[in-house]
Amino acid sequence: MRHVAVIGSGPAGYYSAEALQKLFGDEVRVDVIDRMPVPYGLIRFGVAPDHQSIKAVSRRYEKVALSDNVRFCGNVLVGRDVSVPELLSLYDAVILATGAPNDRPIGIPGDDLPGVIGSAAFVGWYNGHPEFADLDPPLDVAAAAVIGNGNVALDVARILSKTPHEFVGSDIVAHAFGALANSAIRTIHLLGRRGPHQIAMTPKELGELGHLEDAVPRTDLADFPPEMDDALLEPGQRKSVTHLREFSGTTPDKGKTILFDFFAKPVRIEGDGRVERLIVERTALDDKGAAVGTGETYEVPCGMIVSCIGYKTPPIEGVPYEEDRGRFANSEGVIGNGLYAVGWARRGPSGTIGTNRPDGYEVAEKIAADLSGGGGRKQGRTGLDRLLESRGVDLVTFRDWQKIEAAEAARAREGAPREKFIAIEEMLGARGR
Ligand code: NAP
């Protein structure tokens, strides 16, 4: 028998468990450990609440979770309740699938003013992450600036633009639904430090902006290279740029406007006790495609700034870490003897949910090769249970999660978003022990 611990129950964690199961069949026992009492990480707390079709991938992970040789161990924080060296002594292999839930700081003067928010916090707030329930973003202002030209920036701009009606069928949490319904924001500036050809947005997500009930996206054709240059782009990017070009011809005849500002590098945030404006420097591209400041600055009046410039994996004591890349130091997923990394903890925060699947299969193969001489002398889950019990840890099982999920479903009201539990105590209470 091989005993494997997977830390993190998001996509990378469950794809790894699935791969181990496929490779080893009944000869493996996998414990998927998560600090939250609820599974699926990014799917529950990161993917936008109005993207239910993407969230539906959790049904695939559920199949893995319900199999006999995989178990969910929720409400267990590695580094507090159990250490990585302890897990290595209990399991033949330990896989870090902890994702990248921390914000990369924008690091410009004024970024500590109230009203400057990182995307992890903002996305966590509208998705019911217990750590960000009290964020209370200042939505009483006329304009917001969203920094970054990736899909997270698009998610944030779209969520700020939607009407309550457009959230029906979503699982946005009640506090965010109510606050957004009363939002005074009418202008959303989407700032990219490079140009339309350098965006990191995907066409489907960009296309959605063109169909909002009460918001219009706007671009300025002066920011674009000659149209014939679009032919040089790969097809997906070309489609995205086509959407951006279409947005130059829109009429701002709805309640809200999403203004794309390209070649705009944030240099300073100003305000008297709270954000009032963002100072931006115009850029140009150098011959390597990097944004270089031109020295010309202008100001973007805004009362809230959401910085969507990428994420970091939280370090774990004793595990080698690459500060500049915000991920664990690893060589093709191997950190050290018996210790592996997958997903964003391995590669950094890039790619779609499906990009994590090959990582899981690759790491399973590596574990098979590393354990070819045997394995199976470790205690695995029996040892973990003993240790957690001695420390008074309240372990949450998958069956518990099913009760929590059923209790959440029972709270659903017709014509309103589904209501998730936010506080950890509420989740623990809903499992009814
Ligand atoms: P991302 O795709 O890496 O985009 C980050 C953006 O921030 C880039 O436009 C980058 O510009 C910009 N940026 C970085 N540092 C900056 C700075 N100091 N000042 C100004 N701008 C800065 O990251 P993400 O949007 O966080 O998304 C993470 C991953 O999740 C991506 O792979 C994304 O596609 C995926 N995702 C997918 C979906 C979906 O499929 N629906 C939804 C959300 C997220 P440069 O290019 O100039 O560096």
CA angle, 31 then 399 then 424, to 5°: 85
What's CA 267's distance to the chain center, in Å? 25
pLDDT of residue 263: 98
**Is the CB of residue 120 below 6 angstroms from any atom belonging to ligand 1?**
no
Mean pLDDT lowest for which of 245-249, 274-278, 298-302, 375-379?
Answer: 375-379
Between the CA of 150 and the centroid of ligand 1 the distance, in Å, is 3
Q: What pLDDT was estimated at residue 375? A: 66
- Residue 350 Cβ inside 6 Å of ligand 1? The answer reads yes
352 Cβ closer than 6 Å to some ligand 1 atom: yes
Distances (CA, A) of 263 to 144, 147, 280: 18, 12, 9
| Ligand 1 geometric centre to CA of 120 (Å) | 12
What local confidence, expressed as pLDDT, does residue 372 receive? Answer: 82
Cβ pair 170, 49 in contact under 8 A = yes
Task: Say which residue the tokens 């936008």 belong to.
Answer: 48
pLDDT at 30 over 80: yes
Task: Read off the pLDDT of each residue in 71-80 and give the average, rounded to a whole number.
Answer: 96
What CA–CA distance (Å, rounded) separates 404 from 116? 33
Which string of DSSP letters, residue by residue, matches 214-248?
Answer: SEEEE--GGGSPPGGGGGGS-HHHHHHHHHHHHGG
Nearest alpha carbon to residue 4 among 87, 66, 94: 94
Give the pLDDT of residue 374: 67
pLDDT score, position 410: 86
Q: Which residue has the tokens 């029996």?
A: 382
Grade residue 170 by pLDDT with cuts at 50, 70 and 90. very high
Question: Cβ(84)–Cβ(316) under 8 Å?
Answer: yes
Q: What is residue 376's predicted lDDT score, i.e. its pLDDT?
A: 65
pLDDT for residue 126: 97
Burial class (CB in 10 A: 0-12, 13-18, 19+), 420: buried
What is the rounded average pLDDT for all residues in the chain? 95
Residue type, 187: T
Examine the pLDDT at 166 and tell me if it is beyond 70.
Answer: yes
Q: 202 C-alpha to center of ligand 1: Å?
A: 11
pLDDT at position 419: 80
Cα dihedral across residues 172, 176, 182, 187: positive or negative = negative
Ligand 1 pocket mutation, candidates 149, 190, 191, 208, criterion most atoms within 8 A of CB: 149
Would the pTM count as exceeding 0.85? yes
387 in contact with ligand 1, CB cutoff 6 A: no
**Count of residues making up the chain:** 433
Nearest one of 131, 71, 79, 73 to 101, comparing CA atoms: 131
pLDDT of residue 371: 86
pLDDT digits (tens, 9 = 90+) for 366-421: 999 998 866 668 999 999 999 999 999 999 999 999 999 999 988 877 767 778 99
